[in-house]
């Protein structure tokens, strides 16, 4: 189960789209155009894209508080996504979801959640729905290493294993839950071993290698579609920036500048994959075309988002269940 030639170029394109989108998001945040916190996933692009490329268009997915990259990894358009993080009406949730609570049904994203571990039971429920409807749809569930110590993780994995639900639990293990390392917070630091307690495969993969993540996820997807139940995949990756962009961590640093610099220099997933593609004979000019295309798409997304109006205060109750205002307007 390897990436095809077309998929390899698409993997590079999507990883670069995530990186450039979030770099631009950081600039817009500094300019005061993005309200609230902005959690970037730079450094984790291979774990996102590798797993998303193993899905079908109709497969479902749940994200985390750090989830601008996940919609892009599944193929989302950038215009409405940029408008959403800016809180604009042109956003995929009309600006109501913002950076941490967006959903995009067009690419199967049913939910993102600022609650640590909050998406795990939702993904489990989505997989249960597929089983009840007797369809071969699978659900990919993203969460971080910190979520592994939440009760929702254990309850969900037990239920999914018991009922053989078609769900892939993918832990983006970037080594730190905000500032707390895995070594300081996990009695068993090998997260994949947790799967054994629930009777499902536990797989550890290099999260900086997009091809390796794809292969591990593709095997898990095939297993799920065949009715064999869930898989836990742990993609060991690294967060280049702070927990939230612009966040100042008081006190002693929890990781060294040298550690961060080493990962940025030697373990950047985009640079690693660019090197792989060139070594495999990919035309350098073709990669340049993709890079130009991505830069232009991000510029267009910013233009679209800035031109989109902000929601009017009187529309606050719109899109809420059982809202009398929504009912009256419909």
Among residues 117, 98, 104, which one has the least CA distance to residue 36?
A: 98
Angle at which helix 45-52 crosses helix 5-30, to 10 degrees, equals: 130
Question: What per-residue confidence (pLDDT) applies to 191?
Answer: 97
Alpha helices in 69-209 (DSSP H): 69-73, 78-85, 119-133, 151-163, 182-185
Using CA atoms, how far residue 233 sits from 144, 173, 190, 195, 306, in Å, is 11, 10, 12, 9, 38
Threshold 0.85, pTM exceeds? yes
Q: Give 288: exposed, middle or buried? Use CB within 10 Å, 0-12, 13-18, 19+.
A: exposed
pLDDT tops 70 at residue 172: yes
Q: Which of 62-71, 95-104, 316-325 tops mean pLDDT?
A: 62-71
- In the predicted model, is pLDDT for residue 325 greater than 70? no
pLDDT single digits (tens) 209-257 = 999 999 999 999 999 999 999 999 999 999 999 999 877 788 889 999 9
Q: Evaluate the CA torsion angle 298, 302, 303, 307 in order and state its sign.
A: positive
What tokens does 221 get? Answer: 């997807």
> What angle do the packed helices 269-279 and 284-307 form, to 10 degrees?
140
Q: Which residue has the higher pLDDT, 103 or 163?
A: 163
Residue 111 has pLDDT above 90, yes or no: no
Does pLDDT of 173 surpass 60? yes
Which pLDDT does position 326 carry in this prediction? 47
What is the widest separation between alpha-carbon atoms in the chain? 61
* 34 alpha carbon, distance to own chain's centre: 19
The conformation of residue 313, written as its DSSP 8-state character, comes to G
Give the tens place of pLDDT for each residue, 10-25: 999 999 999 999 999 9
133 touches 161 (CB < 8 A): no
Buried/exposed 24-44: b ≥16 CB within 10 Å, e otherwise:
bbbebbeeebbeebbbbbbbb
- Structure tokens of 15? 């990883």
Q: Is 62 helix (H, G, I), strand (E, B) or coil?
A: strand
How does residue 36 score in pLDDT terms, banded at 50, 70 and 90?
Answer: confident
DSSP string, 275-312: HHHHHTT--HHHHHHHHHHHHHHHHHHHHHHHHSPPPP
Distance CA 127, CA 122 (A): 9
In this prediction, residue 193 carries a pLDDT of 97
pLDDT value at 126 more than 90? yes
Structure tokens belonging to residue 328: 């009256």
Residue 322: its pLDDT value, please?
Answer: 58
Checking if the pLDDT of 320 tops 90, the result is no
Query: Which DSSP string corresponds to 196-209?
Result: GGGTS-EEEEETT-
SS3 category, 86: coil
């Amino acid at each position: 189960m390897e990436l095809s030639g077309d998929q390899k170029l698409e993997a590079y394109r999507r990883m670069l789209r995530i990186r450039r989108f979030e770099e631009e998001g950081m600039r817009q945040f500094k300019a005061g155009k993005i309200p609230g916190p902005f959690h970037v996933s730079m450094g984790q692009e291979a774990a996102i894209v590798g797993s998303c490329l193993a899905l079908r268009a109709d497969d479902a997915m749940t994200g985390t508080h750090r989830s601008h990259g996940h919609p892009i990894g599944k193929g989302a358009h950038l215009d409405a996504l940029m408008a959403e993080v800016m809180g604009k009406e042109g956003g995929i949730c009309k600006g109501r979801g913002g950076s941490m609570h967006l959903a995009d049904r067009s690419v199967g994203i049913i939910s993102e959640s600022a609650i640590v571990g909050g998406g795990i039971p939702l993904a489990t429920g989505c997989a249960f729905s597929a089983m009840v409807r007797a369809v071969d749809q699978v659900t990919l569930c993203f969460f971080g290493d910190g979520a592994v110590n939440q009760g929702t993780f254990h309850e969900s994995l037990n239920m999914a294993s018991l009922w053989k639900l078609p769900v892939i639990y993918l832990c983006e293990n970037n080594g730190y839950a905000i500032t707390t390392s895995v070594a300081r917070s996990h009695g068993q630091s090998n997260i994949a071993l947790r799967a054994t307690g629930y009777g499902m495969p536990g797989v550890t993969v290099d999260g900086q290698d997009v091809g390796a993540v794809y292969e591990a996820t593709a095997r898990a997807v095939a297993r799920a579609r065949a009715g064999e139940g869930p898989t836990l995949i742990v993609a060991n990756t690294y967060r280049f920036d702070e927990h939230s962009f612009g966040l100042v961590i008081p006190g002693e640093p929890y990781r060294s500048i040298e550690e961060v610099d080493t990962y940025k220099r030697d373990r950047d997933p985009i640079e690693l994959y660019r090197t792989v593609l060139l070594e495999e004979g990919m035309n350098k000019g073709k990669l340049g075309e993709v890079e130009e295309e991505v830069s232009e798409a991000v510029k267009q997304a910013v233009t679209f988002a800035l031109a989109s109006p902000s929601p009017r205060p009187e529309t606050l109750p719109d899109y809420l269940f059982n809202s009398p205002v929504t009912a009256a307007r419909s």
